[in-house]
């Protein structure tokens, strides 16, 4: 359905459901954005009554992660926290080598390292080495990182304090307000070349147009790929009950729609996977890339190296936390790299990899994460989280 048709359809439904609106609104949580047990981890992450290594887990679960799958399991000892990848929470054809899963785990590591220092520990991090492979070849639970702790006394950290305020912002950004070159340089300086991770920013018109095209074409390819649509839709939570029961997945509240459109979408019956993904393409093209004043890439030397992927995830989380302290909004738009994985899985011509290679212009540097940054036109809502207790072994 075209956007215009969708809006007209919505207008019709608004009139029809007037009598039932109040009941249905409550049922769908129209007025309850960010409330309920699924959102409590955002407010109780720093329980005053508690100290010790569990604080790392409470920070870790608030990290960015692909499709809000929260693919993590934590083991806590007196002097260490271990992080495991939970293969069962995979995205199938959207992430056939668990590359994005490991980026998300890297994001959790960054939050945990910040929480360690803020809670009085010196922290020594060790990543598991190895190469990422097809989902079925991976163990159901695999240790990816160990953080050894020793008590030294707390350190103040503005990025740690920003953890509960960081949310992916999928709404419009102020396209007339450029991000200063000082801010862009600060973001770009967050990668550590020694870990095999680098950052590239794009602000010139020509490069912005190239990013725009790359992201829109990749989104079009995804919505034409039925297994990808099905695997993505599996995680989407439409109703209030679904959000509170699963406490994961993308939600309408976090989709970046205006408050009115969010309320309308909530009282409508759930659309088909195909229609939902058509809206996603429209929003990507007409709102997200159309209003972005700058794009960026995080790259690695080896796209399927486990430690480099975890390191790239750490960098994304750090950049997003810093952006939060500056009033900047950020959003991953990782469709081009998702297509790189998918074309590889299917043995297709590597069109997406070539297009990304042309943008980057450096053969020994492979993008693993694409994002936009800018000043937000409206705030972002939190996404649901399973509690720390639910993800401990
Ligand atoms: C590896 C990775 C890829 C992601 N790709 C996208 C994306 O393409 N589009 C998007 O809107 N968000 C993307 N996200 C953001 C997640 O959907 C988001 O982190 C998750 O839903 C949790 O929400 P929060 O970041 O607001 O806490 C990505 C995050 C990660 C870590």
pLDDT band with cut points at 50, 70 and 90 for residue 197: very high
Query: Quick one: 3-33+168-374 is in which CATH superfamily?
Result: NADH Oxidase (3.40.109.10)
Cβ(100) – ligand 1 distance below 6 Å: yes
* pLDDT score for 31: 62
Cβ(332) – ligand 1 distance below 6 Å: yes
Average pLDDT for 318-333:
98
Least confident of 2-11, 103-112, 136-145, 216-225: 2-11
* pLDDT score for 290: 97
| For the chain, domain boundaries | 3-33+168-374, 37-163
Q: Which two tokens stand for residue 325?
A: 């302290």
Topology match between the domains 3-33+168-374 and 37-163: yes
Residue tagged 């019956």 (tokens):
269
- Whether 262 shows a pLDDT value over 80: the answer reads yes
Nearest-atom index, ligand 1, CA of 65: 31
Cβ(232) – ligand 1 distance below 6 Å: no
Cβ(370) – ligand 1 distance below 6 Å: no
Average pLDDT for 102-123:
97
What is the C-alpha to C-alpha distance for residues 50 and 168, in angstroms, rounded to an integer?
Answer: 28
Q: Which two tokens stand for residue 122?
A: 């010196």
Residue tagged 């709102």 (tokens):
287
Residue 167 CA, ligand 1 centroid: distance in Å? 9
Average pLDDT for 159-187:
97
* pLDDT score for 28: 60
CATH number assigned to the domain covering 37-163: 3.40.109.10
Residue 360 CA, ligand 1 centroid: distance in Å? 22
pLDDT band with cut points at 50, 70 and 90 for residue 32: low
Cβ neighbours of 88 (radius 10 Å): 11
Cβ(381) – ligand 1 distance below 6 Å: no
Q: Which two tokens stand for residue 245?
A: 């029961």
- Whether 17 shows a pLDDT value over 50: the answer reads no
Average pLDDT for 56-69:
98
Nearest-atom index, ligand 1, CA of 334: 8
Question: Residue 78, exposed/middle/buried by CB under 10 A (0-12, 13-18, 19+)?
Answer: exposed
Residue 64 CA, ligand 1 centroid: distance in Å? 6
The pick from 60, 332, 371, 373 for probing ligand 1's pocket by mutation, whose C-beta has the most ligand atoms within 8 angstroms, reads: 332
Cβ(170) – ligand 1 distance below 6 Å: yes
Average pLDDT for 356-371:
93
Q: What is the pLDDT of residues 86-98, one digit of tens each?
A: 999 999 999 999 9
Cβ(65) – ligand 1 distance below 6 Å: yes
Cβ neighbours of 33 (radius 10 Å): 19
């Amino acid at each position: 359905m075209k956007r215009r048709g969708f809006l007209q359809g919505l207008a019709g439904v608004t009139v029809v459901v007037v009598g039932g609106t109040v009941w249905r609104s409550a049922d769908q949580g129209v007025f309850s954005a960010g409330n309920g047990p699924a959102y409590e981890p955002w407010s109780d992450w720093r329980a005053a009554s508690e100290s010790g290594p569990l604080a790392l887990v409470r920070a870790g679960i608030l990290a960015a992660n692909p499709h809000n799958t929260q693919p993590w399991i934590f083991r806590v000892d007196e002097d260490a926290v271990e992080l495991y990848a939970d293969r069962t929470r995979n995205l199938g054809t959207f992430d056939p080598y668990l590359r994005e899963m490991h980026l998300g785990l890297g994001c959790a590591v960054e939050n945990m390292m910040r929480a360690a220092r803020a809670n009085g520990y010196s922290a020594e991090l060790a990543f598991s080495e190895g190469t990422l492979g097809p989902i079925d070849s991976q163990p159901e639970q695999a240790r990816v990182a160990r953080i050894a702790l020793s008590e030294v006394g707390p350190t103040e950290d503005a990025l740690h304090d920003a953890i509960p305020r960081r949310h992916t912002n999928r709404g419009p950004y102020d396209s007339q307000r450029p991000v200063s070159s000082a801010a862009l340089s600060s973001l770009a300086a967050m990668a550590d070349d020694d870990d095999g991770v680098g950052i590239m920013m794009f602000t010139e018109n020509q490069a912005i147009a190239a990013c725009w095209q790359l992201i829109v074409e990749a989104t079009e390819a995804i919505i034409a790929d039925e297994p990808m649509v099905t695997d993505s839709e599996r995680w989407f939570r439409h109703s209030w009950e679904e959000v509170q029961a699963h406490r994961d997945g993308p939600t309408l509240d976090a989709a970046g729609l205006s408050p009115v459109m969010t309320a309308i979408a909530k009282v409508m019956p759930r659309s088909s996977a195909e229609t939902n993904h058509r809206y996603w393409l429209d929003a990507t093209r007409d709102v997200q890339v159309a209003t972005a004043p700058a794009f960026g890439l995080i790259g690695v030397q080896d796209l399927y190296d486990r430690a480099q992927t975890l390191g790239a995830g750490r960098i994304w989380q750090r950049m997003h936390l810093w952006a939060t302290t500056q009033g900047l909004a950020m959003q991953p738009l990782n469709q081009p790299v998702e297509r790189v994985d998918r074309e590889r899985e299917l043995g297709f011509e590597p069109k997406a990899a070539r297009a990304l290679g042309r943008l980057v212009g450096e053969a020994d540097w492979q993008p693993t994460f694409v994002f936009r940054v800018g000043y937000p036109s409206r705030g972002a809502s939190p996404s649901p989280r399973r509690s720390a207790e639910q993800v401990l072994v």
